[in-house]
Amino acid sequence: MEQENIYQQRINLVTNHIRSCLLEDLSLKALADVAGFSPFHFHRIFKSITGETVNALTTRLRLERAVMLLKTTPDLSITEAALECGFNSVSTFSRAFKKQYGRTARSWDRQSQLKNHEKVRVEGDIPTYTNDMLRQMDQQGQFTVQIRSLPTQHLAYIRVINSYAPDRLVNAYETLTAWYQAKGGNHSNTTLIGMSQDDPDVTPLELCRYDICLTIPADWQGTEQVSTRPFPACRIASIHCRGDIFLVDKAWQYLFRYWLPHSRYQPDNLPALEIYKRHPAEIGWETFDLECAIPITNL
């Protein structure tokens, strides 16, 4: 395996660890141990691959988790959100929030975008729906949300950084499926899953990460550009979408901005999932047949 790919896989382990362990020791030394690098070299390697320092990414992921909880859980206090995401005090959280988003947490209405980003996956503008419009969708029954359980899964994946840039996701998908076929895999026995590691409403697009994944047997090992990981059993709230990117984006807005705040659930500390019913190799990239799914826990 090429050295660059070994480094990428080790850094993937670290970023996965940070996301899932926000309340644990995320010091430079602790994370260097996860990666298997010396602390002296780890920081430089980490920044060269991710484009962020270890501390900057850790703070950003803690902030983004807090933002997600505040957006989707109306009764949650700022103090509760800060402590649940690993900040040692509200003042530390408040300073980090203002530095990152240019405003205080208390001045934010929990609905408006904290950063203005143009979504560039398709030509033309993808609309942002108002609360009234989302409420009307609900009253009209435009979307049906299903609650179900997902079992533990073993995944092969390629992490795409700057995933909104043209062709990056398509190229990763082709690389992953070619690897799967070379291993003797049968597409009828696997599920394609996309995982959004970041929220494009608050993360700079060039830092947004998307994992394109295939379910695999537990004893398969990654090679070259392909990493492997277990994904824990969880409950999901999902909407089945058959249509273009505009429909998929509408479903995501409905789920995150309307359904969750009015439900008895909050998002689990796991990535949002796009569970493909049919592969792009079968139907192309202009039309989608997939579930938009959020891992959830009880309030």
Task: Say whether pLDDT at 293 is over 80.
Answer: yes
Task: Say whether pLDDT at 83 is over 50.
Answer: yes
Superfamily of structural domain 3-101 = Homeodomain-like (1.10.10.60)
Q: What is the pLDDT of residues 131-168, one digit of tens each?
A: 899 999 999 999 999 999 999 999 999 999 888 887 89
CA distance 252 to 260: 11
**Greater confidence, 94 or 122?**
94
For the chain, the structural domain boundaries read 3-101, 146-298
CA distance 187 to 279: 9
Task: Say whether pLDDT at 18 is over 90.
Answer: yes
Distances (CA, A) of 178 to 26, 153, 162, 174: 36, 20, 22, 6
Mean pLDDT of 278-291: 94
Residue in this structure with the two tokens 């983004």, named with its chain if needed: 64
pLDDT at 2: 53
Q: What is the pLDDT of residues 234-281, one digit of tens each?
A: 999 999 999 999 999 999 999 999 999 999 999 999 999 999 999 998
Task: Say whether pLDDT at 172 is over 70.
Answer: yes
Q: What is the pLDDT of residues 193-219, one digit of tens each?
A: 999 988 877 888 888 899 999 999 999
CA distance 179 to 175: 6
Task: Say whether pLDDT at 224 is over 80.
Answer: no
Mean pLDDT of the chain: 90
pLDDT at 195: 95
pLDDT at 161: 87
**Greater confidence, 119 or 19?**
19
pLDDT at 119: 44
Helices (H) and strands (E) in the chain, counts: 10, 9
Task: Say whether pLDDT at 192 is over 90.
Answer: yes
pLDDT tier, 6 (very low <50, low <70, confident <90, very high otherwise): confident
pTM of the model: 0.82
Task: Say whether pLDDT at 124 is over 60.
Answer: no
Which two tokens mark 18? 């940070």
* CATH 3.40.50.720 correct for 146-298: no
pLDDT at 122: 41
Are residues 288 and 245 in contact, defined by beta-carbon separation less than 8 angstroms? Answer: yes
* pLDDT above 70 coverage of the chain, percent: 95
Q: Taking the CA of residue 48 as centre, how many other CA atoms within 13 Å lie in the half-sphere pointing to its CB? A: 9
Q: What is the pLDDT of residues 93-118, one digit of tens each?
A: 999 999 999 999 999 998 887 864 44
Mean pLDDT of 19-37: 93
Neighbours of 103 (CB within 10 A): 12
pLDDT at 112: 82
